[in-house]
């Protein structure tokens, strides 16, 4: 069973997460903040190469929508918040700084050319959650953590998210 995080990014209630979070699932169940029961979701679009998936679920609309920022507004040394469900612990927020931008990394058969590196704690279950700057903008999507050391996490940059999400959404219509 995979665990991960996602966030509402679109007025239609679309949820953004990592493709690796939903790739092996027969059924995708969401725990929605403020709802007691789990909600079933469907994958409506995905890009395996960039590790991005868009979900649709019966959630209250308008739900709080997070704005995806721009890569040019992210600076090394900037404070960021990683939001997610590390190890299944819902609604967890960790804080750190941006250590690097455009960091290339290969994980298994996926190549990530432009990751944001942060020391905000990212663990199993944070994947798909937002990396947010202090202005409340999504600057990245939590994606990976270094297996060989502690305190090094990675997020897909906002620019990659915006480009690939736009492409996926155009193909939905």
Residues 19 and 61 in one domain: yes
Closest CA to 160 of 119, 126, 118, 115: 115
Q: Are residues 33 and 92 in the same domain?
A: no
pLDDT tens for each residue of 108-142: 888 898 899 999 998 889 999 999 999 999 999 99
Do the Cβ atoms of 111 and 104 come closer than 8 Å? yes
Single out the residue in 48, 65, 82 at which a domain terminates.
Answer: 65
Residue in the block written with tokens 């469907």: 42
Catalytic residue numbers? 20, 51, 127
pLDDT tens figures, 55-77 = 999 887 667 899 999 989 999 99
Residue 169 lies in a domain: no
Q: What is the DSSP letter of 91?
A: S
CA angle 42, 53, 4 (to 5 degrees): 85
Where does a domain end: 65, 96, 111? 65
Q: Does 49 share its domain with 86?
A: no
What are the tokens at 138? 């999504």
CATH code, domain with 45: 2.40.10.10
pLDDT in tens, 94-103: 999 999 999 9
In angstroms, rounded to a whole number, what is the distance separating the alpha carbons of residues 161 and 167?
10
The length of the chain, given as a count of residues: 173
One domain for residues 56 and 99 = no
Same domain, 85 and 123: yes
Domain that holds residue 41: 7-65
Is 107 a residue whose pLDDT tops 90? no
Question: What total number of domains does the chain contain?
Answer: 2
- Show the tokens assigned to 31: 């725990």
Are 130 and 91 found together in one domain? yes
Please check whether residue 42 is in contact with residue 30, taking contact to mean a CB–CB distance below 8 angstroms: no
């Amino acid at each position: 069973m995979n665990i991960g995080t996602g966030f509402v990014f679109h007025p239609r209630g679309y949820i953004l997460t990592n493709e690796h979070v939903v790739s092996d699932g027969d059924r995708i169940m969401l725990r929605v903040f403020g709802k007691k029961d789990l909600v079933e979701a469907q994958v409506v679009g995905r890009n395996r190469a960039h590790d991005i998936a868009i979900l649709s679920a019966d959630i209250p609309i308008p739900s709080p929508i997070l704005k995806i920022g721009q890569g040019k507004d992210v600076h090394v040394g900037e404070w960021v918040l990683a939001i997610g469900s590390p190890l299944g612990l819902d609604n967890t927020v960790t804080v750190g700084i941006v250590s690097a931008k455009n960091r290339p990394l290969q994980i298994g058969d996926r190549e990530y050319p432009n990751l944001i590196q942060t020391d905000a704690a990212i663990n199993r279950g944070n994947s798909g959650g937002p990396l947010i700057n202090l202005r409340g903008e999504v600057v990245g999507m939590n994606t990976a953590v270094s297996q060989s050391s502690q305190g090094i996490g990675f997020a897909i940059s906002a620019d990659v998210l915006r480009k690939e999400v736009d492409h996926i959404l155009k193909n939905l219509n």
